[in-house]
Structure 1
Amino acid sequence: MVYHVTAEGETDADARESFSWDVPDDFNAAADLVGKHDGDQPALVQVADDGSRTTYTFGDLDARSNAVANALEARGVERGDRVAVVVPQKPANVLTHLACWKLGAISLPLSVLFGDDALRYRLTDSDARVAVVDASQRETIHEVAPDCSALESVLVVDGDGGGSDDERATDDGVSMEQFDDAIHWERTTFERADTDVDTPAIIMYTSGSTGDPKGVLHTHGVWLGHCPAFQLYFERDVRDGVYWTPADWAWIGALGDLVFPAWHYGQPVVGYPMGSFDAERAFELMAAEAVTNAFLPPTAIRMLIDVDEPTERYDLSLEAICSGGEPLTNEILEWADEELAGVVVNELYGQTEANLLVTNCREWFPAKPGSMGKPVPGHEVAVLDPETGERVDPGSVGEIAVRRDDDPVIFEEYWNEPAKTDAVTLVDGPDGDRWHRTGDLAERDDDGYLWFAARDDDLIITSGYRVAPREVEETLLTHEAVSQIGVVGVPDETRGEIIRAVVQPTSEAAATDELRADLRDLVRERLAAYEYPREIEFRDELPTTTTGKIRRTELTAE
C-alpha cells in the first residue's frame, strides 16, 4: 500500500482544519520507508571522499535490510531488544535501523563522536544487546563493552567495507565481527514482525547539555509525524528532489528532518560522512549531486556565508533550506536571497521528544525574521501558563505544549524514567486532554506566529528582570565580528545573577576591549540596558554537545 501524509488546503488554516492521521492498522516504518516504493527508484546516493558514488535503489535497501535483519535474528535479537547504531553517514547506518523495525526490535542511534563515558552510559542504560559500530569506534567499544552487561555482539563497519581485521572478542567474551562478514547478503527475504503505529521502534538520547542524557522512546509512527512539517519547510513540492544534510545521522535533526521523510515520499538522499563541516566541500557536493533541498544547522549556514560568490563558482540546483536548533538571524535570510538567488530558508522548531511542531512555509505565509513560524497541520500546539496549564493570551509568554491524542511525533516515554515522563505530561490540560509540555517558553502573536523565548530553566533573572539568553544571543550574532555565542547567567551578590556572554570571534576579528564595548553597546541599543552582558569572555572555540548545541553548563566556569 502506498501511503503518504499530506497537508492539503489553500491556506495553513485550511490544512490544520482538515488534517487527520489515518494510518494503516499494520503500519511498519521500514515497509513505509523502503518497502512500498518502486524497487528501481534511487533511494541513497553514497558519495566517497574521492568523489566516487554508489546508488542504492529502494529495492536494494529493502533486500539488504532483510539480510541484516536475518543476521541480527541469528545473533539472538528479538522483538523489543535494543540494537545500537554507532555509524556515520554510511549505508550500514540506515540498513540497521530498517532491519530492527522489520524485527520489531528497537534501534538506538548514537554518535561516532562519543567517547568512552558517553557510549558506555547509553549502551548500559538501554541494555543494548547488539552494537553496530564504525571502524573508528572499534577501540572505544572494545574498552566499554565489558561494562555493558546486556551486550553480546558487536559488528564493526570497516571504512573499506569490512573484512580487513580478524574476528576478536572483548575481555568478557562479547563477540566482535566485521559487519560485512556477519551479513549473508544473499539472504534477501525476511518475514517482518507484526507492528502498528504504536509499536516501539527507536530510542534517541537527549544531548545531555544538563544532567544525564534521557532515552526518548518513539514508535513506528514517529517519521510519519515529521512529514507535514517536511512538506511545509520544503515549500510543499517534495516529490521531485534530491535531499542532503551534513548533520550526524545519530541526530533526530538529520533522520527526522530529512532522511526518513524524504524516503516516505520516495525521494533520494545523499550520504556523505563529512566529519567536520567544510563549507567549500558542502557547495561542491550539493552542486555535483544536484541537491535541491537541504537541512543545514545555523552554524553550517554561517560557515557557508563566508564562501565568496557561491552561485558563480558552483552550479547549484538548491531550492530550499530548512534549519533549526539555533537562532536564524535576518542576515541568514538576506544572504540566501541575495547570494543564493532567492533560495528559501525556513526555520523550524521541535525537540527530541516531539520534533517539528512549528515551521515556516513561504507559499502559505510570509516569514517573520526571528519567529519560528506557525504550528504545523497535524499537531495541536498551544502556549500554556506553566502554573495553571491554561492557554495564555497572544503576546504573553508561556510554555509550548502539544496535545498528545493520536499525534505520532510525540514520544512514548523516557526510557526507565517514568517519573520524568509524568513530569512533562499535563494530564488534564485544555479541553481535558493530555498534553506534552516541552519546557520551552514562547509567545504567540496575533497572526499565529510563535516566538521562542527560552527554556523554562534557562531564564536569567538579574536585578529582578527576566532575560531570555536566546534574545541576547540573536542580537550579538548580528555583529560582524561574532562567529558563535553562548549567553548564561552567573551568580552575583548584588543582582542575583549577571549576564555573561562567551564569544567566539570570527577568524578576522581581534578579541579586544574595544570589541567588548561594541557588543555591550549593541545589546543596550537593540534590547535594553539591563540585558547587556556585564561579562564578556572570548574563546577560540565554544564547547558543544555531539549534536552541535552549545554546552551552557560549561560557560559558567571561570
Structure 2
Amino acid sequence: MSYYVTVDGETDAAARESFSWDVPDGFNAAVDLVGKHDGDQPALVQVSADGSRTTYTFGDLDARSNAVATALEARGIEHGDRVAVVVPQKPANVLTHLACWKLGAISLPLSVLFGDDALRYRLTDSDARVAVVDASQRETIREVAPDCPALEAVLVVDGASAESLDSERVGRTAMEPFDDAVDWEQTTFEQADTDVDTPAIIMYTSGSTGEPKGVLHTHGVWLGHCPAFQLYFERDVRDGVYWTPADWAWIGALGDLVFPAWHYGQPVVGYPMGPFDPGRAFELMAAEDVTNAFLPPTAIRMLMDVDDPTERYDLSLEAICSGGEPLTNEILEWADEALAGVIVNELYGQTEANLLVTNCRQWFPAKPGSMGKPVPGHDVAVLDPETGERVEAGEVGEIAVRRGDDPVIFESYWNDPVKTDAVTLSDGPDGDRWHLTGDLAERDDEGYLWYISRDDDLIITSGYRVAPREVEETMLTHDAVAQVGVVGVPDERRGEIIKAAVELAPEASATDELRAELREFVRERLAAYEYPRKIEFREELPTTTTGKIRRTELTTE
C-alpha cells in the first residue's frame, strides 16, 4: 500500500481549499509507517549512552515488528487487547507499537518516569494484558503488578536474564526478558484486518487536574499529524534527519516527529538521554546530521545558554518546531542569529486533537506570541462557549475543530462516554459535530490565532478576567525568573488574587526587594490589576511527567 499526505497550493488558503482526506481501504498504521517503504532505507539510527550507534532500515523494523507481533500473539494478545509500552527511546518501544497495530491490538505508551501510582492507575484503567517494560522500571512493575488483575505478562527490555526473572513471577503475572520472548527469526506475520477507523492507541492525558483520561485514537491518527508536519518543517520533508529529546511516551514525540517522519520514509534518531543536556543535544545533532528537530520551549531556553553553537558544532539543522507555550521573539531571534537562520515554528494541539495550528514561513510570516494559522485538513474555528457559534475576529472564544473525517481527532475517552460527550458539540456550526478543546483564543483579521488560556484557568480578580499564561510570559522575561506558575487563590475582598510561584535563576536571591520588583515589573507591562499580589519562591516547581506545571499544587504553600 502506498499512500502519502500531500499539502499542495501556492498559499495557505489555497492548500486548505484543495486538501482532502482520501485514505485507502484496509489502512494499517504499521504498514503505512514501515511496510510501504524501500526496505533498504534507513529508518532508525539508535545511539546508545556510550555513543555507539546501530542503524535499522525500514525492512529491519518491518521484520522485527513481525517477530514481536508473533510473540504477543503467543501470549494471547488479540484484536482490541491492550499492551503497555514503558520503554524510553529504544527500538523495543516503537517495535511494540508497530506489532500491536499489525495484530489489531491497542498500544499504550507510558513514561519511564512514572511512579507506582501513575503506572498502576493506567494499567488497571486500560486493563492492559501485557506490558513491555524497560529494566529501569523493573521494581516499579513488581510493585504494581499484583494490583493489575488483567496483567498476565511483563517483558523486560535490557538488563535482565531469564534466570534472574525466574523467581519474579508476581501473582498471575509472568516476567521474562523481551529478547527471550521474541523469536527474531519469525519475520513474517499475517496482518489483521484494519482500517483508518480501527482503534490503535490510548494516550493518557498528563493529569495536571483530576484523574488522567485515556484518549483513544485510531489507525489514522498519525496521518492526521502529517499536514502540520509538512508546514512546520517548511514542506520539504522528504530529505532530512529527524530528532526529538521528548519522551516517546507522549504524542508530542511520537505524533509531532517520529511517526510522521516515517510516513514520509525519513530516518529518526533515537537516544535515551534522560534529563536534557544542551551540550549533549548539540553534539548529537551535529554527529547525526539532524536537519529537523522537535524541541520543547524549556529545551530551547537551555540551548540558548550554550555559547557560539555554530562555531563549536558542525550543525546541519534547518528547522525546529516547538509547542506547549507561545514562543517569544527572543527565541526566534536567537535561532536566527545564533543558529545562522534556523527557522523555529510554533505548533498547537492537544492529546485529543494534535497539530491543528502552526506556522509555515513559506506562506506567511510568524508573529511572535501567535499560534499561527489552522492547518490544511483541519477545520478549526473559535466558538462562543455558550452558544456554539463562531465569534468575530478579536473576540475571545473556545478553539474547536470539526470532527467530520479528520483522523487526528480522538475517538473517545476510554470507558468514559460522559466525558467524551462533554467535549463534543453535536450540533455546531453548519450542523456538524465539533470537538471542543477547552482552550480559549482569539483570531485576528489575518487569520492568526492567539492563545489566551484554558477555559478553566482564568482568574477573576475584582471583576477583571486574567489569563495566567499572560502573567507567566511577562515574568519569564525578567532575568531573575527561571520558571513560573501563576494561579488564582481565594481572597475575601477581591474574590481571587493572583499568586505566582517562582523558581529563581541561579544568580538571583529570594528577597522582599525582588518580590516588589517583580510586582512592579508585571504592573508596568500588563495592567494595574494584573500583577501577582502574592509571590512565593520555590526551589523547584511541581510538574507532571510531560513537564507541565501542576497548577493545583501551587495554591498551597
TM-score, with structure 1 as normaliser? 0.99
Instruction: Give the secondary-structure state (helix, strand or coil) at the position aligned to 1:531.
Output: coil
Aligned counterpart, 1:273: 272
**One-letter amino acid of the counterpart of residue 336, structure 1:** A
Deviation at 1:98, TM superposition (A): 0.1
Aligned counterpart, 1:62: 62
Aligned counterpart, 1:245: 244
Aligned counterpart, 2:228: 229
Aligned counterpart, 1:421: 420
Aligned counterpart, 1:112: 112
Deviation at 1:164, TM superposition (A): 7.3
Aligned counterpart, 2:291: 292
Deviation at 1:407, TM superposition (A): 0.1
**One-letter amino acid of the counterpart of residue 137, structure 1:** Q
More moved, 162-171 vs 410-419: 162-171
- Separation of aligned partners in 2, 1:516 and 1:229: 41
- Separation of aligned partners in 2, 1:107 and 1:64: 17
Instruction: Give the secondary-structure state (helix, strand or coil) at the position aligned to 1:490.
Output: strand
Residue pair 1:165, 1:178 contacting (<8 A) in 2 also: no
**One-letter amino acid of the counterpart of residue 6, structure 2:** T
Change (3 A) 1:51 1:163: farther
- Separation of aligned partners in 1, 2:150 and 2:55: 36
Deviation at 1:272, TM superposition (A): 0.4
More moved, 322-331 vs 409-418: 322-331
Residue pair 2:216, 2:412 contacting (<8 A) in 1 also: yes
Aligned counterpart, 2:28: 28
Residue pair 1:206, 1:215 contacting (<8 A) in 2 also: yes
1:305 and 2:304 matched: yes
Deviation at 1:514, TM superposition (A): 2.7
Change (3 A) 1:163 1:12: farther
Instruction: Give the secondary-structure state (helix, strand or coil) at the position aligned to 2:43.
Output: strand
Aligned counterpart, 2:541: 542
**One-letter amino acid of the counterpart of residue 122, structure 1:** R
Deviation at 1:505, TM superposition (A): 1.4
**One-letter amino acid of the counterpart of residue 63, structure 1:** A
- Separation of aligned partners in 1, 2:163 and 2:534: 53
Q: Deviations over 1:34-80 (max 9, x none)?
A: 00000000000000111110000000000000000000000000000
- Separation of aligned partners in 2, 1:115 and 1:410: 29
Deviation at 1:538, TM superposition (A): 1.2
Residue pair 1:163, 1:180 contacting (<8 A) in 2 also: no
Deviation at 1:485, TM superposition (A): 1.1
CA RMSD of aligned residues (A): 1.0
Residue pair 1:88, 1:250 contacting (<8 A) in 2 also: yes
Aligned counterpart, 1:75: 75
Instruction: Give the secondary-structure state (helix, strand or coil) at the position aligned to 2:85.
Output: strand
Aligned counterpart, 1:48: 48
Q: Deviations over 1:492-537 (max 9, x none)?
A: 1110110011111111222222322222122112111111011111
Residue pair 1:324, 1:347 contacting (<8 A) in 2 also: yes
Q: Deviations over 1:5-61 (max 9, x none)?
A: 011000000000000000001100000000000000000000011111000000000
Residue pair 2:42, 2:56 contacting (<8 A) in 1 also: yes
**One-letter amino acid of the counterpart of residue 174, structure 1:** T
- Separation of aligned partners in 1, 2:510 and 2:243: 36
Instruction: Give the secondary-structure state (helix, strand or coil) at the position aligned to 2:140.
Output: helix
Instruction: Give the secondary-structure state (helix, strand or coil) at the position aligned to 1:165.
Output: helix
Aligned counterpart, 2:5: 5
Aligned counterpart, 1:360: 359
Residue pair 1:477, 1:483 contacting (<8 A) in 2 also: yes
Instruction: Give the secondary-structure state (helix, strand or coil) at the position aligned to 1:537.
Output: strand
Q: Deviations over 1:197-255 (max 9, x none)?
A: 00000000000000000000000000000000000000111000000000000000000
- Separation of aligned partners in 2, 1:474 and 1:219: 36
- Separation of aligned partners in 2, 1:166 and 1:359: 47
Aligned counterpart, 2:481: 482
- Separation of aligned partners in 1, 2:348 and 2:45: 28
Aligned counterpart, 1:401: 400
**One-letter amino acid of the counterpart of residue 83, structure 1:** V
TM-score, with structure 2 as normaliser? 0.99
Aligned counterpart, 1:145: 145
Aligned counterpart, 1:468: 467
Residue pair 1:331, 1:478 contacting (<8 A) in 2 also: no
**One-letter amino acid of the counterpart of residue 29, structure 1:** A
Aligned counterpart, 1:220: 219
1:449 and 2:484 matched: no
Instruction: Give the secondary-structure state (helix, strand or coil) at the position aligned to 2:203.
Output: strand
- Separation of aligned partners in 1, 2:377 and 2:349: 14
**One-letter amino acid of the counterpart of residue 5, structure 1:** V
Aligned counterpart, 2:341: 342
**One-letter amino acid of the counterpart of residue 459, structure 1:** L
1:91 and 2:111 matched: no
Instruction: Give the secondary-structure state (helix, strand or coil) at the position aligned to 2:503.
Output: strand
Structure 1, gaps ≥5 residues long: none
Deviation at 1:454, TM superposition (A): 0.4
- Separation of aligned partners in 1, 2:161 and 2:32: 29
- Separation of aligned partners in 2, 1:199 and 1:162: 36
- Separation of aligned partners in 2, 1:8 and 1:417: 38
**One-letter amino acid of the counterpart of residue 16, structure 1:** R
Deviation at 1:555, TM superposition (A): 0.8
- Separation of aligned partners in 1, 2:165 and 2:404: 51
Residue pair 1:169, 1:176 contacting (<8 A) in 2 also: yes
Residue pair 2:349, 2:355 contacting (<8 A) in 1 also: yes
**One-letter amino acid of the counterpart of residue 530, structure 1:** Y
Structure 2, gaps ≥5 residues long: none
Instruction: Give the secondary-structure state (helix, strand or coil) at the position aligned to 2:300.
Output: helix
Instruction: Give the secondary-structure state (helix, strand or coil) at the position aligned to 1:368.
Output: coil
Aligned counterpart, 2:383: 384
**One-letter amino acid of the counterpart of residue 93, structure 2:** N
- Separation of aligned partners in 2, 1:518 and 1:193: 63
- Separation of aligned partners in 2, 1:468 and 1:267: 40
Residue pair 1:162, 1:179 contacting (<8 A) in 2 also: no
- Separation of aligned partners in 1, 2:208 and 2:459: 17
More moved, 221-230 vs 497-506: 497-506
Residue pair 2:326, 2:370 contacting (<8 A) in 1 also: no
Residue pair 1:291, 1:317 contacting (<8 A) in 2 also: yes
Residue pair 2:165, 2:175 contacting (<8 A) in 1 also: no
Residue pair 2:308, 2:338 contacting (<8 A) in 1 also: yes
- Separation of aligned partners in 1, 2:392 and 2:412: 30
Instruction: Give the secondary-structure state (helix, strand or coil) at the position aligned to 2:485.
Output: strand
- Separation of aligned partners in 2, 1:508 and 1:241: 40
**One-letter amino acid of the counterpart of residue 263, structure 1:** W
Deviation at 1:163, TM superposition (A): 5.6
Aligned counterpart, 1:182: 181
Residue pair 1:68, 1:95 contacting (<8 A) in 2 also: yes
**One-letter amino acid of the counterpart of residue 45, structure 1:** V
Aligned counterpart, 1:514: 513
Instruction: Count the aligned residue pairs.
Output: 557
Instruction: Give the secondary-structure state (helix, strand or coil) at the position aligned to 2:529.
Output: helix
Give the % identical residues. Answer: 86
Residue pair 1:42, 1:57 contacting (<8 A) in 2 also: yes
